[in-house]
Amino acid sequence: MNFERNIKTYYFYSTFAELLILGPVMTLFLIAKGCSFTEIMLLQSISAITQVLFEVPTGAVADKQGRKVSILLSSAIWAISLFIYIIGKTFIVFAAAETIFSLGASLKSGADSALIYDSLVSVKKEGEYQKVEGKARSYALYAQAIGSVLSGFIYEVNIYLPMAVSIIFMIVTFIITLFFYEPPYQKETQHEGVNYYRQISDSSRYIFKHEKLKAVVLFCTVFFIFYRAGFWYYQPYMEAVNIPVKYFGIIFFLFNITAAFISKRSHYIMEKTKPRTLSFLALLMGASFFLMGTVKIWPGFLAILLQQVARGLYGPVTTKYINKHIPSDKRATILSFSSLSCNIAVAVTFPFMGMLKDHADIFSTHLVLTAAMVISMGACTRYMNKRIGKRRGADTLTLKP
């Protein structure tokens, strides 16, 4: 089979796979549907809990039944969940939609990157993974940038149109996925039978015995809390600095263009920042939060661009570190373990994020996030010093790929 074709297909797939043109208006949509900000954050906790329940089992499904099957199911399930959001009128229905959406996210998580990584292994080009992933991610972000502008305009026409258009994009994703070839890893493990429990237990033991891999998963978990929470505070911040809602789509276009530009050059930036790439990501997020906590006029929204730089780097960098240390037959499962850890952290912390926003203004909220991030990254550093045995004073967020 021509596994080189998977690389080209992956670029088309990446362009549409996450083209949910909801970012600039999702908070407004939920408020229009009658949700409070606390309920919006609670939906994110429900999403995280659902992914905790399904993340690793769906990763095992991807490893045993095929990454292509897992991705096909994901796009179909996402389309269904968006339709439920359109027809829903109560928080309970929205919670059901979010649960279904998260199941789709779990099926996708790790499966697509595992498929392309093993495709590259099949043609002996695994060294190009980060370049391919960065390029694919840039296409996704450029598409989201264009979609962001479209979202603002069509939301003004009808609040349901962004959801409807996103459903169409999921159908397109489903069709594109049909053109993937499954990498040959499956042939080596098929004779063992479908033993999900063994797949999961073997993968978990592998993580806990591998100190570098465990350290990266810890970093991803702590970082992801702030990375994901930051998004839900964009719109409240922009409203607080008196930016009209009609400009939100254009601003999100700028965000996505920035992230796309950085993602495409992630391999170059990683070369320039290693062995401190992970620390660089944390610095970007912390600086953004601090500026958003202190700048109370409209140019302050430019601080969010620092988060977009981190957004463009996060996927290619973290998956590069993780993939480097895991075997092919456990790749999707272990990637799902990393995502599971991130979602447990979100499920636990996001209710407090909602309470924080309800009891403080958006500027104070960002200052609290700044302090929390400094403390959390300090704890990560101490853990890595102990586990990896770095010399005193060294930057323990500087794992070499």
Q: From the DSSP assignment, how many helices (H) and strands (E) are in the chain? A: 18, 0
Query: What is the Cα–Cα distance from 172 to 169, expressed in whole angstroms?
Result: 5
User: What is the DSSP code string of 105-122?
Assistant: HHHHTTHHHHHHHHHHHH
pLDDT of residue 335: 74
Q: SS3 for 363?
A: helix
Cα–Cα nearest to 334, from 121, 96, 157, 110: 110
Confidence of residue 196 (pLDDT cuts 50, 70, 90): low
pLDDT of residue 192: 43
Query: What is the Cα–Cα distance from 252 to 241, expressed in whole angstroms?
Result: 16
**Cα atoms found within 13 Å of the Cα of residue 72, Cβ hemisphere only:** 13
pLDDT digits (tens, 9 = 90+) for 75-121: 999 999 999 999 998 999 999 999 999 899 888 877 888 888 888 88
Query: What is the Cα–Cα distance from 77 to 162, expressed in whole angstroms?
Result: 17
Query: What is the Cα–Cα distance from 219 to 234, expressed in whole angstroms?
Result: 23
User: What is the DSSP code string of 346-378?
Assistant: HHHHHHHHHHHHHHS-HHHHHHHHHHHHHHHHH
Q: Give the residue with greater pLDDT, 12 vs 378.
A: 12
Cα–Cα nearest to 133, from 23, 10, 253, 219: 10
Give the Cα-Cα-Cα angle 123, 113, 175 (nearest 5 degrees). 95
Query: What is the Cα–Cα distance from 98 to 54, expressed in whole angstroms?
Result: 13
**Cα atoms found within 13 Å of the Cα of residue 356, Cβ hemisphere only:** 18
Taking the model in full, what pTM does it have?
0.71
What number of residues does the chain have? Answer: 401
Asked if the model's pLDDT at residue 212 lies above 60, the reply is yes
Query: What is the Cα–Cα distance from 188 to 168, expressed in whole angstroms?
Result: 37
pLDDT of residue 388: 53
Confidence of residue 173 (pLDDT cuts 50, 70, 90): very high
Query: What is the Cα–Cα distance from 365 to 185, expressed in whole angstroms?
Result: 47
pLDDT of residue 162: 92
pLDDT digits (tens, 9 = 90+) for 120-171: 888 888 788 878 888 888 888 788 888 888 887 888 889 999 999 999 999 9
pLDDT of residue 385: 58
Confidence of residue 64 (pLDDT cuts 50, 70, 90): confident
pLDDT digits (tens, 9 = 90+) for 296-310: 999 999 999 999 999
CATH number of the structural domain 4-181+195-388: 1.20.1250.20
pLDDT digits (tens, 9 = 90+) for 329-381: 667 667 767 777 887 888 888 888 888 888 889 999 999 999 998 898 778 76
Query: What is the Cα–Cα distance from 104 to 361, expressed in whole angstroms?
Result: 34
pLDDT of residue 387: 61
Confidence of residue 396 (pLDDT cuts 50, 70, 90): very low
Asked if the model's pLDDT at residue 185 lies above 80, the reply is no
pLDDT digits (tens, 9 = 90+) for 259-269: 878 887 888 88
